[in-house]
Amino acid sequence: MFDCHCHILPGIDDGSKNVQMSLAMLDMEVRQGVEGIIFTPHFYADMNSPSTFLRRREKALIELEASLDQLPHVPAYTVGSEVHYFRGISRAEGIESLCIGNSDYILIEMPFRTWQPQFIDEIEEINAVLGLKVIIAHIERYFDQDKRLVKRLLDNPNFLIQCNAEFFLGKSYNHAIKFMKSGRIDLLGSDSHNLEHRRPNLAEAVAVMEKKDKKGALDHISRVSRRIFEAAM
């Protein structure tokens, strides 16, 4: 298993508050069988420039790495960002620096306000003009948006689609299983932020998925996850 979306780096966003919480979250990931993690702290263009964000991310990573010897086992990891959509994103200076590790994959969080067609236009430009490989974060959170616009994302073969583990663990279970069977889930993430209500939970979701996976959805997710992880290293 690979956790392709989480907020485990300490003190950089609304995720882990400190190094000790980060270590505990990493230990939970290991105990669940997670072999690789992509740290994806939030990037908001109205709060930081890419260069400022990258300095803050590096500081958080150094702080965490200084204490990793406290853990009996540490999964492989790399860094990325969860880039919140903003107007002009496809033309923003330095947007390429927010990709995952050394890869050209970039995780994009779509806005939660009502979507406009130009939002999708810009995401398409990130791929078509900049040549970056777009990953749409937690697609399940956007299913109440204009169905035509959501369909544009899902129908674009150049976009990868990420789901959160929680999609499979609550009232949305039936919808999640149906969506899994559609074959459009490419990546999973815990989107974990803490040790309580948003804790690492990837293994729980995978256990649920395994019971209904008749078409190799989890194998596909594993292959795509590994490809991105290896490209990032």
SS (HEC) of the chain: CEEEEECCCCCCCCCCCCHHHHHHHHHHHHHCCCCEEEECCEECCCCCCHHHHHHHHHHHHHHHHCCHHHCCCCCEEEECCEEECCCCHHHCCCHHHHCCCCCCEEEEECCCCCCCHHHHHHHHHHHHCCCCEEEECCHHHHCCCCHHHHHHHHHCCCCEEEEEHHHHCCCCHHHHHHHHHCCCCCEEECCCCCCCCCCCCHHHHHHHHHCCCCCCHHHHHHHHHHHHHHHHC
Please give the pLDDT value at position 61.
Answer: 98
Cβ burial, residue 104 (10 Å; 0-12/13-18/19+): middle
Give the separation between CA 23 and CA 17, rounded to whole angstroms.
11
What tokens appear for 209 in the block? 């998925």
Mean pLDDT of the chain: 97
Q: What share of the chain in percent tops pLDDT 70? A: 100
Burial 154-186 (b: 16+ CB within 10 A, else e): eebeebbbbbbbbbbeeeeeeebbebbeeebbb
pLDDT category, 162, cuts 50, 70, 90?
very high
What tokens appear for 204 in the block? 């729980």
Domains of the chain listed by start with CATH number: 2-232 (3.20.20.140)
Tokens 């236009």 appear where?
A: 121
pLDDT category, 181, cuts 50, 70, 90?
very high
Task: Report residue 209: phi and psi, to 5°.
Answer: -65, -40
pLDDT tens-digit readout, 17-53 = 999 999 999 999 999 999 999 999 999 999 999 999 9
Give the separation between CA 145 and CA 113, rounded to whole angstroms.
9
Q: Specify whether the CB–CB gap between 8 and 22 falls below 8 A.
A: yes
